[in-house]
Structures are given as C-alpha cells and as structure tokens.
Amino acid sequence: MRNNTKLIIVSLLCILTLSAYGQDVIVRKNGLLIQADVREIGLEVIKYRKASDPEGPLYSMYRENIYAIVHDNGDKDYFSKPDETTFTSPPANKEEKKNKLFEKITESSYLFNSFSISIGAGVMESYSEVANTESVSNKSQNLPNIHIRGFTSLFKNFEMGLQLSFGKYEYDEASRNDYDNTLISNNVSEKILSATLAGRYTLNSKDFKPYGIMGIGFNRSRIDSQINFVMAEQNALSVGSSNLIYNAAFLARVGAKLKILDQASLYGDIGTGINLLQFGAEWKIK
C-alpha cells in the first residue's frame, strides 16, 4: 500500500510537470500517463487527441479506467480510485480487455474524424473560354474571384472534399473602320463556375503545414457578347449573343497553411484552376 501511495505521488508530480507545458494529462488506474488534448468528458467515455498529434484521430477511453485528468490550466478531475493491486501493471481481467479493444478500435479511425471549411480569393487569371484575351485593350474584374472549400479526413494526413470557384471577367475593345468611319465596339462578359472533387495531403508539422491538392471536376463558362456599330450619322446597330460552355477541369495545387488560432489557419497556394494564386482562411469545425 505504501509503495502504491508513493507511485501515485510520483505520477501526480509528473502530471503537474507535463501540464505546465500547456497540455492535458490523463492518468489511468493502472498508473499509465497519457499526454493529451481532452476534447470531451462524457458520462461513460472520455474523448481526446494525442498531444503529439493535435489534429489526429479522436481517441476514446472509458471513464472507469481513468484515475484522474490534470488540465493544462492546473484544474484536476478525479474519476475513481487507483487500482491498489495493479497500479504499476496493466489489468488483465475480461472487462479491461474489452475496454482496451474498444480504445484500440477508436484510436485507429481517421474516417470523418475532422471537418474544415475555407473561403478565399484568387488573383491572376489562368482559365477563360474567351479567345485571344491577351490582345484585348481593356480587361476588368468587378470583384475578386471567390472559392469555397470543404474537406473531411479519410486517412492520416489525407482529406477528401469539394472546391467551388466563382469568377467574372469583362473585356472591352473598340476600333474605327477607316473606310466609312464606323465605330465598332465589342463588349464581352464571362461568368465562370468551377466545381472540383479533390483530395488534399498535408505534411504533419506543428503550425506551418505544406499541402498538395489534386482533383477533377468541371468548368461552366457563360459568355455574353455584344457588338455595337456606330455610324458617322449617329445611327447605331447592336448585335448580341450568348454561349454556355462546359469543360472538364483538372485541379493541381501546392501551398501551405499557417495556424493562427486553435481552430483557424491562413493559407495560400498556386496551381491550376480559375486563378493561378489563391489565398484565404480555414476554420476547423470538428
């Protein structure tokens, strides 16, 4: 009994030392210590992530196997008495084996373990169905192109999701016919929608995380064109047309995100899509 008491005291001292580094510590009834980020304390189960992998899978452990939790702010929660006969060795009864099997199953699951959503803007046009845009004298963009992403985890460091991108461009060009002095102006408006199913692989690092994205989908481009003819006698003639074009889209981008809050990051990437460069903010929902 005296040895067990000493072990409990030593364990608590270790816990207090670890919690001073801004992480929770779980002490099991058998004396094992787990450095963790406790996410939920339920009536039957404690859910946590490993301190060494804060964005990894969500682990589960029955409360009845836990002696205490020391939170990173120094608060302590006690759940049961330590096992006075096997405080230094794992329990071996059938109930504990079932609990350990349950914990092992939940630890290995990354499927839909986290979800993130991001919104951002793009610059430098890299896709258009309007021909010869490089030679257009007047090109404008009323608003920055917008993209929205949503990703959910499938495996360790790998997520699947959807990216939606929206863009609008306007092209204006005017010329005068030397023969009859007719002014010819061409106004073209292009509205682009891109939807892509994509996978994202993120390198495991603490705050600065490089990633790569690849996916396939489609681009929808609506082109409205109007040609105006203004004669010398101020007579005017307008001819308009509209076209809707669908094309396959291939997305390949590389970038990095920088963690600024526990659930928020800033990111930037470069590659194929409506825009060459994209940047924005990401929020982790789960």
- Which pLDDT tens digits describe the chain residue by residue (286 residues)? 444 554 455 455 555 555 445 688 888 888 788 888 898 888 888 998 888 887 778 888 888 888 888 888 888 888 877 665 544 444 445 555 555 555 554 544 667 778 999 999 988 777 777 766 555 556 666 667 899 999 999 888 899 999 999 988 888 877 777 776 777 778 888 899 999 999 999 998 888 999 999 999 999 999 888 887 777 666 777 787 888 999 999 999 999 999 999 889 999 999 998 889 999 999 998 7
Dist CA 78 CA 204 (whole Å): 33
Please state, in angstroms and rounded to a whole number, the distance separating the CA atoms of residues 60 and 49.
9
Please report, for the chain, how many H helices and E strands are present, in that order: 2, 15
DSSP E strands in 52-114: the ranges are 59-62, 66-70, 76-78
Q: How many CB atoms lie within 10 A of CB 166?
A: 16
In this predicted model, what pLDDT tens digit does every residue of 77-117 receive, in sequence order?
Answer: 888 776 655 444 444 455 555 555 555 545 446 677 789 99
21-35 pLDDT, tens per residue?
568 888 888 878 888
Q: Does an H or E element contain 267, and which?
A: strand 264-271
Residue type for position 153: S
Residue 77 and residue 177: Cα distance in Å, rounded?
Answer: 85
CB 201 within 8 A of CB 184: no
Residues carrying CATH 2.40.160, the chain: 115-284
Under 8 Å CB-to-CB from 143, ≥6 apart: which residues? 168
Give how far Cα 130 sits from Cα of 139, 145, 188, 240, Å.
Answer: 12, 17, 8, 15
| Whether 48 contacts 59, CB under 8 Å | yes
Answer left, alpha or beta for residue 3, where phi above 0 means left and psi between -120 and 50 means alpha.
Answer: alpha
Neighbour-count burial for 179-189, b at 16+ CB within 10 Å, e otherwise: eeeeeeeebbb
What are the start-end ranges of the E strands in 103-181? Answer: 115-125, 138-140, 145-155, 158-176
**What's the pTM?**
0.60
Could you name the CATH architecture of 115-284? Beta Barrel (2.40)
The CA–CA distances, whole Å, from 159 to 211, 249, 254, 267 equal 11, 20, 15, 16
Give the per-residue pLDDT at 96. Answer: 58
